[in-house]
Amino acid sequence: MNSHLPIPAVVAAIRPLAVDTSLLTLHTEPGHPVASSFLPGQFLQLSLPGVGEIPLSYCGVPSRDGSIELCIRHVGHVTTPLKSAAPGDAVGVRGPFGHGFPLSAYAGQDLLLIAGGLGIAPLRSLLLTLLKQRELWGRLTLLYGARETGALMFLDELLEFQRRGVIELQLTVDRPGYCINGPPECRVALLPALLEQLALEPGRTCAAICGPPVVYPLLVSRLRLLGVADDRIHLSLERRMKCGVGLCGHCAVGTRLCCVDGPVFSFAELAGIEGALV
Partner 1 sequence: MATLFIAQHNLEAMLERLRRKAEVHGPVRGEDGVVRFAELIHGILPDLSAIRTLLPPKKYLLHPRETILKYTSEAGYQLPSESVPPLILFGLHPCDLAGINYLDRIFLGEDPDPLYAARRSALTLIGVSCTPDEFCSCHLYPSPLKALSDLFLNSVKGGFAISSGSPRGEELLEVLKDIVEERDINVPEDTRRFFGHAVSAQVRPELDATLPEWQELADACLGCGACSLCCPTCSCFDVLEFGGLDGRSAVRVRQWDNCLFKCHAEVAGGMSFRKNRAERFRYRYRHKYRGFGPLQGIPACVGCGRCRVVCPAGLDLRPLAARLEEITP
Partner 2 sequence: MRRLRLAIAGLTACSGCQLLLLNCEDELPELLEQFEFHFFPLACSPALLEGEYDAALVEGCISMPHEKELLLELRRRSVYLIALGTCAVWGGVAALRNGESRELLRQQVYGQSPVASETFEPLPLQSVVHVDAVVAGCPPEKEELLRLLADLARGVLPVDIDYSVCAECRMKENLCLLTERDTLCLGPLTLGGCGARCPNMSVPCEGCRGPVPECNLHKALEIYEQKGFDRTTVLARLRRFCPGWKL
Q: Which residues bind partner 1 (CB under 8 A)?
A: 2-8, 47, 49-54, 73, 75-77, 79, 90, 92, 213, 238-240, 242-243, 245-250, 252, 254-257, 260-261, 272-275, 278
Contacts of 246 (CB under 8 A, 6+ apart): 257, 259, 260
Rounded Cα–Cα distance for residues 271 and 278 (Å): 12
Give the shortest CB-80-to-partner 1 separation in angstroms. Answer: 10
DSSP bridge partners of 111: 140, 206
Identify which of residues 81 and 246 has a Cβ nearer to partner 2 in the complex.
81
* Among partner 1, partner 2, none, partner that 262 touches (CB below 5 to 8 angstroms by kind): none
Beta strand segments in the chain, E: 7-18, 21-28, 43-48, 52-57, 67-73, 90-97, 110-116, 140-146, 168-173, 186-188, 205-210, 233-236, 252-253, 256-257, 264-266
Contacts of 165 (CB under 8 A, 6+ apart): none
Give the shortest CB-238-to-partner 2 separation in angstroms. Answer: 19
Give the shortest CB-52-to-partner 2 separation in angstroms. Answer: 8
* Separation of CA 212 from chain center: 11
Q: Which ranges in the chain belong to alpha helices (H)?
A: 33-36, 120-132, 155-163, 216-225, 258-261, 267-270
* Among partner 1, partner 2, none, partner that 200 touches (CB below 5 to 8 angstroms by kind): none
DSSP bridge partners of 94: 45
* Among partner 2, partner 1, none, partner that 84 touches (CB below 5 to 8 angstroms by kind): partner 2
Identify which of residues 72 and 167 has a Cβ nearer to partner 1 in the complex.
72
- The number of CA neighbours under 13 Å toward the Cβ of 224 is 12
Give the shortest CB-248-to-partner 1 separation in angstroms. Answer: 5
Give the shortest CB-85-to-partner 2 separation in angstroms. Answer: 11
Identify which of residues 10 and 131 has a Cβ nearer to partner 2 in the complex.
10
Identify which of residues 158 and 257 has a Cβ nearer to partner 1 in the complex.
257
Q: Which residues bind partner 2 (CB under 8 A)?
A: 50-52, 77, 80-81, 84
* Among partner 1, partner 2, none, partner that 32 touches (CB below 5 to 8 angstroms by kind): none
Give the shortest CB-266-to-partner 2 separation in angstroms. Answer: 33
